[in-house]
Structure 1
Amino acid sequence: MPYMYILECSDGSFYTGSTKDLPRRLWQHQNGLGANHTKKRLPVKLVYAEYYDRVEDAFYREKQVQGWSRKKKIALMNSDWDKLHILAECQNESHYRRLVSTPLNQPKPDED
């Protein structure tokens, strides 16, 4: 049964992984046999998991979530879909929403 999972380490950091055997993988992490990140930050605890039908989907999701900010991971763990959606929006100056919300020839709020 493939899973994407998030562990919270003793230092408060998160580790995101995927596995076919979640109980076995958690045991490995707890006993220093997991990733280098977790073995240096024991103990760890499972804070989130998603089940998938295919290993490829769990692995893809792992890679997706690994690239997320801490705030975005916390929103996922809390099932805060509204906040997750907001945090997923592009924050670049050139993002479409920022251009549309700033009238032409008007300084942006942070430009004085």
Structure 2
Amino acid sequence: MYYVYCLKSIKDSKYYVGQTQDVQKRISEHNAGLVSSTKRRIPFELVGFEQYDTRSAAMWREHELKNSAQKRKKFFAYFAK
């Protein structure tokens, strides 16, 4: 299984979207400062995630969320409930 996850920075309340096979391991990597694009914004908390059968489906969804403000807004709103 593959996952598209949403993290929220506790430091600045900004969101980050990514994809992985192991959500907990990836969050640990973000919070340890091992991900260059997020290391200045640690710590993070998991907001939510979606599950996909293939990596290509997860990568497409990640791309969609990172490139469409409207879809990203709906994604964040869904997890804010």
Extract structure 1 runs of 4+ deviating beyond 4 A: none
In structure 2, the partner of 1:13 is 14
In structure 1, the partner of 2:27 is 26
Q: Percent identity?
A: 33
Q: How big is each residue's C-alpha offset from its partner over 1:44-102, in whole Å with a ceiling of 9 and x where there is no partner?
A: 11112100011110011001101132x6534323339xxxxxxxxxxxxxxxxxxxxxx
Bigger Cα Rg: 1
Equivalent residues in 2 for 1:12-91, closer than 5 Å? 12-34=13-35, 36-69=36-69, 72-79=71-78
Where in structure 1 are there 5+ consecutive unaligned residues?
81-112
In structure 2, the partner of 1:102 is none
Where in structure 2 are there 5+ consecutive unaligned residues?
none
TM-score normalised over the length of structure 1 = 0.62
Structure number having the greater strand percentage:
2
